[in-house]
């Protein structure tokens, strides 16, 4: 049995996997990694199943002590990490000797970085998933963000006594999977509530990510969509990535810890292939929306899936 | 003869499809809240639980709709729509479980119900009358949504109908019992919220380590029972 000690938790570090689906009728949203693409790559780098539990760090990473060593990989934005004193690149696996310390710093680019560990982070499964749902206090470590002094258990790896071989993600694939600032969307269920003028404002302007953004939703600031029918609707199910327009005319992108139902009209919906890009948005980032057809959205997802499942993604 | 109900499909995203139910005589553009429509929602959710469709990941019921999330690499909107169409044709035969009757003890007013006085003033009622009206009815759980275990209950007595607060609270304590328009509900966890708070229950609305995680389920009948502060404290400790 291996352990990791949390010496410093970072700004907001939680245990995440690919989320818990199927509990919508109870009002439970899936949660899961904000950048699921990075999580899946990171887990493959350390020989885990793609959906193994990992630590998701936000803007500022933590400091972790490995009394028993292990194999790790950082996946996501570059948070300037060091293993003892040696810089550690993202999307590369590394062997940690017993007694070494990983110090993860501040982001150089996007909002999130995952720490994947061979075997996966072991926490009690809640509704079949390790992922933390902060708002409702479900999953992960007591349903909360990590604290200094937490001790995390690492599950036994699938293959014991494997000799360590450094693995890295294919650079060309990573380039294609890079998070975007122009988010591609399809029409939302209430697109036709918004007239030509509102549509022009929505697609013609950049929006700024506000400080109030979190895993529940990305609140945007910028040109308000005026002249819309802001008539409140009776509550209905809302999908991941839904772009709802609030009473003030500003958009909110519903994210992994989303409310399951809501009453605001949705002008658009971020496509599945771009959801990991949403997970890398930082406060003050500028984004734009680009409308695509349904068949394009599905083709982009298929392309992404092909890259992620390809054997060539991981280079030894 | 049952009221005929229309079904309407609407693409919500590249990985979800909305099914709306409307009373066929309705001329409204939007679906309306009604018990007949609710029954359809409940039937479809039940059928999807009993006979899961391959590729469907999640289901989010609403007042008059069901959002179906799916894996876009395994299902297309057209195919899912066809499958769901077949389910809907068979829905009349779906047996629904008998609704459970659930009593929720509530300590009204004071710091547990900071909006009780305000609602009374808005509706020109005494606070006592507000409590009586709120506790007199049996409510239907239309669906669970928003956050884990939050039941949308209706419908409120017309005398109590009030708009949401213009500025939502940053945090509403768990157990808070609120009203908004013709709905009422209990906040299971601390969340931001704009409903007007009349009181608080000591019951835990949602617990993931309980066999029945949510105290309430879609279709249940709910009554609020006024209790004293002493009783609240006692029940909270239990």
The Cα–Cα gap between A246 and A156 comes to 47
Contact (CB, 8 A) for A67 and A80: no
**Nearest-by-CA chain B residue for A24:** B60
CB contact under 8 A, B62 and A235: yes
The maximal CA–CA distance of chain B, rounded, in angstroms, is 58
Nearest-neighbour CA in chain A from B27: distance (Å): 16
Contact (CB, 8 A) for B67 and A236: yes
In a shared domain, residues B24 and B125 = no
Question: Which CATH number is A303's domain given?
Answer: 2.40.100.10
A169, A190, A208 — which closes off a domain? A169
In a shared domain, residues A222 and A144 = no
pLDDT of residue B30: 64
CB contact under 8 A, B62 and A239: no
The Cα–Cα gap between B127 and B142 comes to 27
Give how far the C-alpha of residue A132 lies from the chain's centroid of Cα atoms, to the nearest Å.
12
Picking from B13, B32, B58, the nearest residue to A241 by CB comes out as: B13
Q: What angle do CA A163, A168, A171 make, to 5 degrees?
A: 160
Q: Which residues of A fall within a CB distance of 8 Å from B17?
A: none
In a shared domain, residues B61 and B132 = no
Give how far the C-alpha of residue A273 lies from the chain's centroid of Cα atoms, to the nearest Å.
12
pLDDT of residue B5: 87
Q: Could you tell me which residues of chain A have a Cβ less than 8 Å from any Cβ in chain B?
A: 21-28, 30, 126-127, 133, 135-138, 186-189, 233-242, 259-262, 266, 269-272, 294, 297-298, 301-302, 305
In a shared domain, residues A301 and A208 = yes
In a shared domain, residues A206 and A157 = no
Count of the separate structural domains present in chain B: 2
In a shared domain, residues B116 and B59 = no
pLDDT of residue B103: 98
In a shared domain, residues B77 and B118 = no
- Domain limits at A268? 182-311
Pairing label, strands A2-8, A63-66: antiparallel
**Nearest-by-CA chain A residue for B66:** A237
In a shared domain, residues A138 and A239 = no
Which pLDDT tens digit goes with each residue over B123-165?
999 999 999 999 999 999 999 999 999 999 999 999 999 998 9
CB contact under 8 A, A269 and B73: no
pLDDT band per the 50, 70, 90 thresholds, residue B167: confident
In a shared domain, residues B177 and B231 = yes
Would you say residue A275 lies in a domain? yes
- Spell out the alpha helix ranges (H) of B93-144: 116-122, 127-136
Number of H helices, E strands in chain B: 5, 13
In a shared domain, residues B145 and B88 = no
In a shared domain, residues A188 and A220 = yes
Instruction: Point out which residues pair with A94 in neighbouring strands.
Output: A72
B33, B58, B93 — which closes off a domain? B93
Question: Which CATH number is B32's domain given?
Answer: 3.30.1360.40
pLDDT of residue A206: 98
**Dihedral sign for Cα atoms in the order A194, A198, A204, A210:** negative
In a shared domain, residues B193 and B131 = yes
pLDDT of residue A171: 96
In a shared domain, residues A204 and A160 = no
Would you say residue A122 lies in a domain? yes
CB contact under 8 A, B45 and A234: no
Q: Which residues of A fall within a CB distance of 8 Å from B15?
A: 239-240, 272
In a shared domain, residues A46 and A107 = yes
**Nearest-by-CA chain A residue for B73:** A302
Q: How far is CA B95 from CA A219, B50, B90, B91, B98, in A?
A: 43, 11, 11, 9, 9
The Cα–Cα gap between B23 and B44 comes to 16
CB contact under 8 A, A234 and B146: no
In a shared domain, residues B66 and B159 = no
B93, B114, B141 — which closes off a domain? B93
Q: Which residues of B fall within a CB distance of 8 Å from A236?
A: 18, 60, 62-65, 67
CB contact under 8 A, B189 and A23: no
Question: Which CATH number is B177's domain given?
Answer: 2.40.100.10
Would you say residue A46 lies in a domain? yes
Query: With pLDDT > 70 as the criterion, what percentage of chain A qualifies?
Result: 97
Q: What is the mean pLDDT of chain A?
A: 95
Picking from A25, A188, A294, the nearest residue to B144 by CB comes out as: A25
Q: Which residues of B fall within a CB distance of 8 Å from A127?
A: 208, 213
In a shared domain, residues B73 and B110 = no
pLDDT of residue B98: 87
Picking from B33, B58, B189, the nearest residue to A24 by CB comes out as: B58
First to last CA, chain A: 26
Q: Is the pLDDT of residue B31 over 90?
A: no
For testing the chain A interface, which of B26, B69, B147 should be mutated: the one with the most A CBs within 10 Å?
A: B147
The Cα–Cα gap between B192 and B208 comes to 21
A112, A147, A169 — which closes off a domain? A169
In a shared domain, residues A100 and A34 = yes
Q: Which residues of B fall within a CB distance of 8 Å from A188?
A: 12-13
Q: Which residues of A fall within a CB distance of 8 Å from B63?
A: 234-236
In a shared domain, residues B191 and B105 = yes
Picking from A186, A238, A259, the nearest residue to B147 by CB comes out as: A259
Per-10-residue mean pLDDT of chain A, 316 residues long, equals 96 98 96 98 97 98 97 98 98 97 97 98 96 95 98 89 87 97 97 93 97 96 79 88 92 97 94 98 98 98 98 94
B93, B122, B145 — which closes off a domain? B93
pLDDT of residue A251: 96
Would you say residue A316 lies in a domain? no
Count of the separate structural domains present in chain A: 2
In a shared domain, residues B110 and B220 = yes
In a shared domain, residues B68 and B110 = no
Which pLDDT tens digit goes with each residue over A142-173?
999 999 999 999 999 977 657 888 999 999 99
pLDDT of residue B229: 97
Picking from B49, B61, B147, the nearest residue to A136 by CB comes out as: B147
pLDDT band per the 50, 70, 90 thresholds, residue B4: confident
Contact (CB, 8 A) for A12 and A145: yes
- Domain limits at B112? 101-237
In a shared domain, residues A157 and A31 = yes
In a shared domain, residues A149 and A13 = yes
In a shared domain, residues A115 and A258 = no
In a shared domain, residues A237 and A122 = no
């Amino acid at each position: 049995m291996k352990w990791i000690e949390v010496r410093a938790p970072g700004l907001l570090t939680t245990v995440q996997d690919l989320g818990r689906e199927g509990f919508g009728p109870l009002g439970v949203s899936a949660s899961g990694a904000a950048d699921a693409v990075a999580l899946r790559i990171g887990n493959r780098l350390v020989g885990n199943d793609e959906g193994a539990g990992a630590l998701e760090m936000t803007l500022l990473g933590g400091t972790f002590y490995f009394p028993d060593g292990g194999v790790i990989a950082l996946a996501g934005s570059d948070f300037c990490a060091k293993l003892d004193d040696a810089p550690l690149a993202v999307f590369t696996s590394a062997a940690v000797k017993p007694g070494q310390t990983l110090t993860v710093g501040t982001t150089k680019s996007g909002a999130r970085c995952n720490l994947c560990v061979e075997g996966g982070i072991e926490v009690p499964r809640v509704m079949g998933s390790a992922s933390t749902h902060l708002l409702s206090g479900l999953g992960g470590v007591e349903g909360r963000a990590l604290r200094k002094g937490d001790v995390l258990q690492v599950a036994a790896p699938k293959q014991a006594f494997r000799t360590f071989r450094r693995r890295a993600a294919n650079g060309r694939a990573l380039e294609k999977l890079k998070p975007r600032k122009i988010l591609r969307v399809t029409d939302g269920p209430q697109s036709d509530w918004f007239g030509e003028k509102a549509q022009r404002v929505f697609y013609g302007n950049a929006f700024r990510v506000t400080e109030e953004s979190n895993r529940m939703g990305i609140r945007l600031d910028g040109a308000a969509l005026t002249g819309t029918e802001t008539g409140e609707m009776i509550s209905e199910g809302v999908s991941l990535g839904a772009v709802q327009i609030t009473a003030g005319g500003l958009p909110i992108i519903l994210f992994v810890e989303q409310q399951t139902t809501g009453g605001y009209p949705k002008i658009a919906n971020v496509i599945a292939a771009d959801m990991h890009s949403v997970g890398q948005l930082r406060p003050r980032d500028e984004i734009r929306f680009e409308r695509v057809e349904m068949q394009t959205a599905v083709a982009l997802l298929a392309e992404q899936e092909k890259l992620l499942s390809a054997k060539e993604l991981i280079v030894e | 003869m049952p009221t005929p109900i229309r079904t309407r499909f609407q693409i919500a995203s590249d990985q979800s499809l909305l099914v709306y139910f409307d009373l066929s005589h309705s001329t409204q553009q939007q679906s309306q809240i009604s018990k007949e429509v609710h029954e359809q929602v409940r039937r479809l959710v039940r059928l999807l639980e009993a006979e899961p469709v391959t590729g469907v990941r999640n289901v989010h019921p609403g007042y008059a709709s069901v959002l179906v999330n799916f894996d876009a690499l395994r299902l297309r909107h057209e195919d899912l729509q066809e499958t769901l169409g077949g389910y809907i044709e068979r829905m009349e035969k779906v047996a629904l479980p008998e609704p459970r009757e659930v009593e929720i003890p509530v300590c009204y007013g004071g710091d547990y119900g900071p909006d009780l006085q305000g609602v009374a003033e808005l509706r020109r009622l005494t606070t006592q009358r507000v409590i009586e009206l709120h506790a007199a009815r049996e409510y239907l759980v239309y669906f669970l949504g928003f956050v884990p275990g939050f039941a949308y209950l209706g419908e409120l007595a017309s005398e109590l109908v009030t708009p949401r607060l213009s500025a939502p609270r940053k945090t509403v304590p768990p157990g808070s019992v609120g009203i908004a328009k013709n709905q009422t509900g209990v906040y299971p966890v601390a969340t931001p919220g704009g409903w007007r708070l009349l009181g608080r229950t000591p019951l835990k609305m949602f617990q993931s380590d309980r066999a029945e995680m949510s105290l309430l389920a879609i279709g249940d009948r709910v009554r609020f029972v006024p209790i004293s502060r002493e009783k609240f404290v006692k029940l909270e400790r239990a």
